[in-house]
A and B are shown apart, each in its own frame.
Chain A
Amino acid sequence: MTATPHRERSTLRRLREDWWIYLFLLPTVVGYGAYTVYPLVASWWYAFLDWPGFAMRGTFIGLANFKLLWHDDLFWNAFTNSLVFLIISVPLRVGLALALAIVLNRPSTPFRGLFRTLLFLPVVTTGAIVGVVFTLILDADGPVNLALVKTALIEEPVNFLGNAGTSLYSAIGVWVWKWLGITLIYWLAALQTIPHELYEAARIDGAGPWREFRYITLPLLVPFLLIITLIDMVGALNVFDLVMTLTGGGPAFSSEVIEVYIYRTAFQATVPQLGYASAAAVLFGLLTMVLAVLQAIGVRSVRRGMAAR
């Protein structure tokens, strides 16, 4: 008996036979296209327009928006604030979540389920509501200041959100608190992939908790670290709802991140500037991409250096 030779199906035949797959994919593709791809591409075009918000359409002005933007101090202020937010909040969230995950992964830790739930609860709250509530919690008369003054850690209440020196860092703290739970879940899932036998073997060889972490846990978590960090970085660039309700970008633009800058330019200016705001979004995206590429080059050369040794 000879086997029937496998023939490649033509594209048309594939489409005909698997049409139902594409039908099920259609809602997602249409939704993604309409609400993600289209606005993204449209904003690239709008960036080249002079478009007051009350007009139906804009006028093509080439790179004029980008030229103005390049010299706009408030754009660079917002860009810097976004970078600071990213650089501080992501390692904090990733590192703290990892530490908590390791503790909560130990069978000996009591009430693990309860702590996991409590840490995850803020994740399911709405960012805008969290912002509003924390304006009261971090108030000069709020419970945080009350506790700090009563425990003599500070003498006078600190206006966390009303002080240009602390507003951005307060926003970072609230954001980390809100999203810590989801990163914790990612790490817990990652920790389940490490075989227990490795730990048993290490203990037989006399390894303590630190050496277990250093030589078993950490190396095996590196792939997850890259993915989780990337997810958290994306989250750190989407903080509009929280910052808007917490500080409004103030005081004195000290906590104005790029999304708030874009929103203010697009909707709150005397003459709303949709083209200019789009240019800000595009330029920020390009600059972030440049930084990401530089970072990737840096990481690769460090790895090459380590491999060479």
Chain B
Amino acid sequence: MSAGRDTHSVADARRRLSRRQLLGHAGGLALTAAALPALPGCTGSGTPRSRGASDGDDGPVTIQWWDQFRPLTELFENELFAPYSRQHPNVKVQRRQLDAPDLAQALQLARRSNQLPDVHSIAGLQTSAAALVTTGWFQPIDEFVDLEGSPVGQYLYDGIHRFEGRVYTFPLFSGQWHDGTPWLNTALAEQAGVDPAEVALTWDAYRKVLRQLTTKTPDGVYGLLMPMQEPGYLGSRLSTFAQTAGAPGSIDWRTGEYVWASEPFFEAMEYLIALQRDGVIHPGSASMAPRDARARWAAGQGAVYMWGPWIIGGLLVAEPEAVERGIAAWRIPAPDANDRGFIHTEPASGPFWLSSQSQHPDVAADLMLQMTTDRFLTLLAGAMDQPPIQINLVEEADVHEAYRANVEFMRQDVRQAPVPQIRNPDVADVLVEMQDIHPNPGEIVQAVLTGSESNYRAALREYNDKLTAERDRAIKAARTKGAEVSIDDWVFENWDPANDYDQAKYAEL
């Protein structure tokens, strides 16, 4: 082989494009073509491009709205967003509805990646709202709208809606509710010979009727559904039953002490155990979450499900036939019908907040303000979720009779409790410092009802003691960081459990 021929073939090879070179060039071109559209989205500051928004108020504006209120979907879309868009043609609202736990995660991740929606609720974020305010999650809404002059202005509280003189949110729903209403499948009740109108007012009567609903209904149907997979639900059952038995709540506001290890809580625990022993609880309850239990109730596998006022609104979205079949609300039973304890709740907080990352806070705030009109609040009542802040509107609203009856029961049974952070905003710093104690009461109930814990008294005492110690530690830690707070902030000598602790009471302190 001559060197000349070699040189000629090498030169030819260099001129010709090899397969490898072709693939390489094609790959480079393809990657460049793919990257080109993304380049304008890089603002360089870490701030993502606004979603469909322009810089001026006259340009197209998209408001992102996240919440957990499934029953309110139609109301929001048809009575809030659509009318607003008709009045402001450049404004579009995109709503995302998530379950509370999912919403909490999504919000945390969105905040860190600078993608929070303009308006969102804080369901699932059990952290005190005050802590979220001080860490810059929200911006004041009063800069853009006048809430003090609105129908909800009288319901604004320092430490809950107002922080350092600025209004961040407003209550939409009444705080006068609880999530322990026994909702009865009236069709099954009639099969079992139970009169839905005869409300079982005492614990004994309730046990008796649940036994009847279990034995006199077809196989596979039980008296009570109790989602045991979620400790929060079980903790709430324990607390509401304990309060009907006379507990002041989890704290005795006259002394500021935790009372998880008091007699009413032991009685409530024994009552739950008794229900378990009676065999009236659906055996699948151990692997149910609250929405599973609602679905099973709708499917007719249980006659009674204890849940909040929003059950009818939720059923109408997913299982409307369950409402048509028949539903009744009973008053939450108490050990003694003539000496019932009250259920104590905090004043309603704001369900919706204006994000500090909102690019259009004025538009978002204006949209939120539309929810404070009497018309919207009446329609809100009609959606049958939590009752509206002006709870009397339920009487005029187009609601199911069971919903109306339940609201009346709750007006009789629920009283507003004191809130330490209203009295002293620095209490929020203590709440942020406090670590969860495990097992908590809900987890203790779960362990007891699933057979892995028998000494619930010791478990509740241990929890109570650890919680007390944790609060003391958190108070010390908050004080070292500059908070002016003490255990006295949890003591309200002028508290009367039978009456609401309203704004005037704080002024007396």
Chain A interface (Cβ < 8 Å from any Cβ of B): 19-21, 23-24, 26-27, 52-56, 74, 135, 138-142, 157, 159, 161-165, 246-248, 250-254, 267-273
Contacts and interface: CB of A to CB of B under 8 A. Distances in A.
A20 B229 contact: no
Interface residues of B, number: 48
B24 A20 contact: yes
22 contacts: A26-B31, A53-B108, A54-B131, A56-B112, A135-B292, A140-B284, A141-B283, A159-B283, A161-B286, A162-B283, A162-B284, A163-B451, A164-B447, A164-B451, A165-B452, A247-B229, A250-B446, A269-B436, A270-B126, A271-B131, A271-B434, A271-B435
A271 B25 contact: no
Contacts of B446: 250-252
Given A162-B286, A271-B432, A248 B452 contact: no
Contact of B105 (A55, A267, A270, A273): A267
B21 A20 contact: yes
Contact of A23 (B27, B127, B137): B27
Nearest to B23: A20
Given A56-B112, A159-B283, A271-B127, A250 B436 contact: no
Contacts of B230: 248
A52 B438 contact: no
Given A162-B286, A270-B126, 15 more contacts: A20-B28, A26-B31, A54-B125, A54-B132, A56-B136, A135-B292, A139-B283, A159-B286, A162-B287, A163-B451, A247-B229, A248-B229, A252-B452, A267-B104, A268-B104
Given A54-B125, A271-B435, A163 B450 contact: yes
A55 B460 CA distance: 32
A53 B453 CA distance: 32
Given A54-B131, A272-B108, A164 B450 contact: yes
Contacts of A140: 283-284, 286
Nearest to A248: B229
B135 interface: yes
B105 A252 contact: no
Interface in B200-253: 220, 228-231
Contacts of B158: none
A9 B172 CA distance: 73
A35 to B, nearest CB: 14
Given A54-B111, A270-B436, A272-B108, A139 B287 contact: yes
Contact of B24 (A19, A253, A270, A273): A19
A52 to B, nearest CB: 7
B436 A139 contact: no
A163 B284 CA distance: 11
A163 B108 contact: no
Contacts of A24: 24, 27
A75 B180 CA distance: 33
A250 B233 CA distance: 14
Contacts of A270: 126-127, 434, 436
Contacts of B350: none
B228 A162 contact: yes
A253 B442 CA distance: 12
A23 B452 contact: no
Interface string B105-136: 10010011000000000000111000110011
A252 B111 CA distance: 32
Contacts of B104: 267-268
